[in-house]
Structure 1
Amino acid sequence: NHPQAGVSLIEARAFCEWLTQKERAEGLIQEYHAYRVPTDLQWSAMNGLFDEDGNTPEIRDVRKKAGEYPWGTEWPPPPQSGNFADASAKRTAPGSIAGYDDGFELTSPVGSFKPNPYDIYDLAGNVWEWIDEPYSGPESRLALVRGGSWSSFQQSNLLTAFRNPLRPDYKRGGAGEYGFRCVIVDTRKSPAVTAP
């Protein structure tokens, strides 16, 4: 029940393509439906950020709103806000959030914490989530991850609007900090993203 961790964007895309073909063949989804890694604006919308302006994640990152977290505006996070670097992760994480303990040293089972107001779980902490969009435009060699992970302890990294640019083939060994979520799209309305 834990998130798949230690995954690159390239591997996340391959999984979404495999799942799309499998479920189409089984008649579970229509031919015009496809699973994908979310775009930057889709991920923002899942977190209630509907008013971000800028035509690239890099521009939206520069214009991010300070002090807004998936759980609200308080720091440190209130109990049950997510799986972050805390008292239980002190042995494995590079730092920790003083006064916070989620009870998990590494990843936690999906849905262990309260959902956000849109009933979406784990958008903060557990694993960084890949975004299928070039960080600074079509020519960019960088993709990005959002949401923080079980080893995140810096306030800036847990801001809802924070974006962390990385190479699309990047994945970290060990317990893994990088994962993904799938969204299903109507390909008639949502063309594929050209990402690095």
Structure 2
Amino acid sequence: MTADPLAPVLKALSQGGGASSDFDLNPGTVLPEGRKLRPAGVLVPLIQREGRIEVILTKRSSQLKHHPGQVAFPGGKVDPDDADATAAALREAHEEIGLDPANVEVLGELPWHETVTNFTMTPVVGLIRAEFTVRPEPGEVEEVFRVPLDHIANPANFSIQSRQWLGRERRYFTAPFGPYYIWGATARILRGLAERMAE
């Protein structure tokens, strides 16, 4: 075990390149020409407890129009008032789970990820300085839970599955944890983090 549990994360953040997308496992996908990609920022919130690191994730409300019931990082699109993707990620984390931006030490960014919904999503990795009272945003966040970083850091915990999407088979990563089905963009970003930590 590494003396500093954060060391592999910091090493992962120091590496350049390596953008990912929801189409990584579907090389035959033809993307429409002239599509407009919108910037978004998500927070990958890490918290240290009893000598180990945990990742905080949300389960989106089943009543939402987009991605109902899916596991996601807190975050969203970059608004005009946001200075950048990091500002958007911190703002959204405050709104969605009650995390004060002042309670987050931003460690760095992972490579951006393109989603099927035409966003370029920047994952911002932040260390939460102290425990906080979780306040899920009513109507948007159904649940907030934690996953040990050790689970995410093990590539063996990821698998590739598929389903029909727009009349074609779409393959994607999954990383189930207990009752939580982590898949899609969230799993792909976590898989990228795991790969970088293992290098």
Task: Normalising by structure 1, report the TM-score.
Answer: 0.24
Q: Work out which structure has the larger RCO, using CA pairs closer than 8 Å and 6 or more positions apart in sequence.
A: 1
Task: Normalising by structure 2, report the TM-score.
Answer: 0.24
The answer to which structure has the higher strand fraction is 2
